[in-house]
Structure 1
């Protein structure tokens, strides 16, 4: 499903396919890194979870995904606003892909064995900004906690 979305974005954007896919992955990585950093700790488990989420949903080589994730981590310190990322999600993600992104956020938050209140708050805010219903937000959280 996520790969279908990536293909649709690639078809809509001019330029090379790998560049467009990389742009999509950069947005996803930036948002997932924000979740991992919400508790002011960036654990190895959370890093691994971010990489796994992107590798499962992308056709990019592992080395390129690792580079995207490390760039997102480096850029996170200087990021003032995530508005542009949220706007891109709202413009290009359908409901199913938004729900998948929220579920990936929960997986990152739970990767270290503890969902911190700041991680919970940040995911809640993102879900509101991308117009995910509260019931869907809760269902995504429960799916992650049950797995």
Structure 2
């Protein structure tokens, strides 16, 4: 009986280790990390339309100078990962590791552009941007400077 219980827990531990290794092996690129965060803002208010998806593509081209096919692939991956994400840490930590503070400020400015793509700002979009700004280690003054002036 103890052998069966021990075997059960060993198999469970092996499965967890295998799943963790598989998840960590899925490399997140800077482009994908930024795209996922943009998708999170786009999806925050519960709906996204062609206008917002077009804005997402434009923002990725502006930031990373990608061609149309690369943008399409990244958006497809980003939408899938955004739907499955439980937090932003995997993406913001990648950006923090490779981007300067000025580049992170630029990313948050793009998040605001994404939020306004449909012509209005939902409070949940603002909340998501604030949360991402905190995870990107922006000070309050830096976060405030990213907000668009009306």
TM over 0.5: yes
Q: Partner of 1:52 in structure 2?
A: 58
Alignment of 1:109 with 2:109, yes or no, is no
- The alpha carbon displacement at 1:27 in A equals 0.8
Runs of 4+ in structure 1 deviating by more than 6 angstroms, as ranges, are: none
For 1:76-118, what per-residue CA distance to the aligned partner results, in whole angstroms no more than 9, with x for missing partners?
A: 2222232111111111110110010000000000010111000
Tell me, yes or no, if the aligned pair for 2:89 and 2:135 is still in contact at 8 Å.
Answer: no
Alignment of 1:23 with 2:25, yes or no, is no
Taking the aligned partners of 1:74 and 1:90, their CA distance within structure 2 comes to: 22
The secondary structure found in structure 2 opposite 1:25 is helix
For 1:120-143, what per-residue CA distance to the aligned partner results, in whole angstroms no more than 9, with x for missing partners?
A: 00000111111112222222112x
Q: Partner of 1:123 in structure 2?
A: 129
Gapped regions of structure 2 (runs ≥ 5): 1-26
Q: Partner of 2:69 in structure 1?
A: 63
Alignment of 1:37 with 2:43, yes or no, is yes
Taking the aligned partners of 2:50 and 2:140, their CA distance within structure 1 comes to: 29
Taking the aligned partners of 2:119 and 2:45, their CA distance within structure 1 comes to: 13
For 1:46-86, what per-residue CA distance to the aligned partner results, in whole angstroms no more than 9, with x for missing partners?
A: 21111111111223321111121122112222222321111
Match of 2:78 among 72, 83, 97: 72
Instruction: Give 1 or 2 for the bigger CA radius of gyration.
Output: 2
Taking the aligned partners of 2:89 and 2:32, their CA distance within structure 1 comes to: 14
The secondary structure found in structure 2 opposite 1:113 is coil
Q: State the TM-score, normalized to the length of structure 1.
A: 0.77
Q: State the TM-score, normalized to the length of structure 2.
A: 0.76
